[in-house]
Structure 1
Amino acid sequence: MASTWRIGELCRRTGLTVRTLHHWDHVGLLRPSARTSSGHRLYDERDVGRLYRIVALRELGLPLETIGALLDGGGSGGPELAELLGEHLVHVERQLAALGGLRDRLAALVPAVRAAGGAPSVDLLALIEEVTRVDDTVRNYFSEEQLAALAQRRERLGEDAIRGVEAEWPELIARVRAELDAGTDPADPRVRALAARWMELLEAFHGGDPGLRDSLYRMQAENSAEIAQQYGGPSPELIDYVKRAAAAG
């Protein structure tokens, strides 16, 4: 008898969140093959194979839209499993090599800093470069030129302004979520005012640059479920609510 998993079981086995699987179902990326008589999602072994392909291709840097087109194109179900496993292995080995370099640098810096009471700026700059290289998520969405532009913008804004924006986000998200939970129409003036402030805070990040704005929106859209789960950021539903409120303004 073929194995099937309910969404909660699948999440426990894979480490993914229910919110993520709901989102992937909503956008048509991973739809369960069946449902129970009470409407609960049921995933079978073929769904698990597709799920692995999604996770692996996403880790390799492909956006969700591209992954969906690749998996659904030509009726082949996407790349052969053995080929994808090989590419995934190469990617993980590169990550391990990068992490090994970061570990070696940290191992060398810890005793030096303890002995000297501080670290030379040149060592800290090299450490920052190592950390940035290991963090693939941001680099999948922003070019080197864009990252440089963001660094310059951060310097122009100053740390006080940046901390102010970062401190305002949680309160703003909570206020918008309260309106969404209350069923307030996104065209309501109160919600439109919150959406306008939302866009102002985003502009503090991208400065009106359309390329930076598009990269930010794409990263947020394709990782919104994880951002909400891990960092308390806005959920996909909340982002859609804000977009509708902004459009109504």
Structure 2
Amino acid sequence: MTGTGGEKQPLWSVGALARATGLTVRTLHHYDELGLLQAGERTRSGHRRYTEHDLQRLYQIRLLRQLGMSLEEIGDVLADPAALREVLVAHLDQLDEQASRLDALRSRTRNLLEQLDGSWRPESGEFLTALGRMTTIDQYITDEQQAVLDERADALGAEGRKLLDAEWPLVAAKLVRHCEADDPVDDPGVQRATRRLFELGDLFTGGDPAILQTMLRFLRERAVPDDRGFVFGEDFLDYLDRACAVMRKN
């Protein structure tokens, strides 16, 4: 990383910081607007200059982001450092639950392999389902959340689930294209797609915000689905956060 200006410590322009971290300039500006990361210094002409202290804060923001926290939650934690311990304890509980589910998955997979090595052959659907669970959201949600999703699936019916499965990737892909084009998040097309994506999310989750946050954490950590032809990266999820902030204001 190359700093510019200042004798006491290196300073980074917003462009230099974006290139060094892989974030977009728009994302850094959004962090500034939210008060998450404001440049410690300004040039006489008003241009942002980030300090070493600002870099440390950005590291904290990205670390908390990796835990699946929303930008609003990150702001609360940074404003009250004592709250960080509660966040880490809650995250550890989630990891313990995830580890328990992975242990169960490992046991099921081992049983299937033993069956394959024996004289009995499992149904192909059973085998593929077990393998598929290795890379799906099942590793992230709790048993209680899965029960809610099962109830929602029953309520939607086969036809409703089919329509939902067909529409949500189209809406998500549209938002990805908006993000790649760097369209303003208050653009009417962006707002329509954002609103529809969350309407579909409510249909799928029954409006449970905890399940929705789990799904977003899954997308952040796994950057999927590749097979749909697009990837949910950090820049896209930050873009979606900004679009949601505008949607809530309206």
Q: TM-score, normalised to structure 1's length? A: 0.54
Asked whether 1:47 is paired with 2:57, we answer no
Flag the 1:72–1:108 CA change in 2: closer, same or farther, 3 A.
Answer: same
Q: Is the 8 A contact 1:19 1:225 kept in 2?
A: no
Letter in 2 for 1:7: V
Q: 1:4 aligns with which of 11, 17, 25?
A: 11
The equivalent position to 1:230 in structure 2, one of 209, 224, 232, is 232
3-state SS of the aligned residue for 2:49?
strand
Secondary structure, counterpart of 2:54 in structure 1 = helix
Using the alignment, how far apart are the partners of 2:205 and 2:150 within structure 1? 11
State the AA in 2 paired with 1:71.
Answer: L
Kindly tell me: are residues 223 and 18 of structure 1, through their superposed partners in 2, closer, same or farther at Cα, counting changes over 3 Å? farther
Give matches, 1:190-205, under 5 Å: 200-205=199-204
Aligned pair partner of 1:215 in 187, 210, 214: 210
Q: Aligned to 2:50, what secondary structure does the other structure show? A: strand
Asked if the contact 1:102–1:127 (Cα under 8 Å) also holds between the matched residues in 2, the reply is no
Per-residue displacement from partner, 1:201-228 (whole Å, max 9, x unpaired)? 3442243x4xx0x336767999999999
Q: 2:65 and 2:190 mapped to 1: Cα distance?
A: 34
CA RMSD of aligned residues (A): 5.8
Which string of whole-angstrom CA distances, capped at 9 and with x for unpartnered residues, describes residues 141-200 of structure 1? xxx42332023312442455334234434665759x7xxx699997xxx99998886665
Counterpart code for 1:230: F
Query: Counterpart in 1 of 2:32?
Result: 25
The offset of 1:45, in angstroms, is 0.8
Contact 2:13/2:49 (<8 A) preserved: yes
Map of 1:1-249 to 2, 5 A cutoff?
A: 1-37=8-44, 39-60=46-67, 63-73=70-80, 78=81, 121=126, 124-125=129-130, 128=133, 132=137, 134-135=139-140, 144-158=143-157, 160-169=159-168, 174=174, 200-207=199-206, 209=207, 212=208, 214-215=209-210, 230=232, 235-243=240-248
The question of whether the paired residues in 2 share the 8 Å contact of 1:25 and 1:31 is answered with: yes
Is 1:64–1:222's contact at 8 Å kept on the other side of the alignment? no
| Residue correspondences, number | 225
Q: Is the 8 A contact 1:33 1:42 kept in 2?
A: yes
Percent identical among aligned pairs is: 29
Give 1:39 deviation, angstroms: 4.5
> Residue by residue, what CA displacement relative to the aligned partner does 1:60-88 show, whole Å, maximum 9, x if unpaired?
45554443233333xxxx37xxx9xx99x
For residues 82-139 of structure 1, give each alpha carbon's deviation from its aligned partner in whole angstroms, at most 9, with x where no partner exists.
x9xx99xx99x98xx89x979978997998899879757278448627854754xx67
1:196 and 1:14, CA in 2 relative to 1: closer, same or farther beyond 3 A? closer
The 8 Å contact of residues 7 and 41 in structure 1, kept in 2 or not, is answered as yes
Cα distance between partner residues in 1 of 2:23 and 2:196: 32
How far apart are residue 44 of structure 1 and its match? 1.3
Alpha-carbon distance in 2 for matches of 1:101, 1:148: 20
**Larger deviation: 12-21 or 109-118?**
109-118
Matched residue type, 1:147: Q
- Structure 2 gap segments, 5+ residues each: 1-7, 224-229
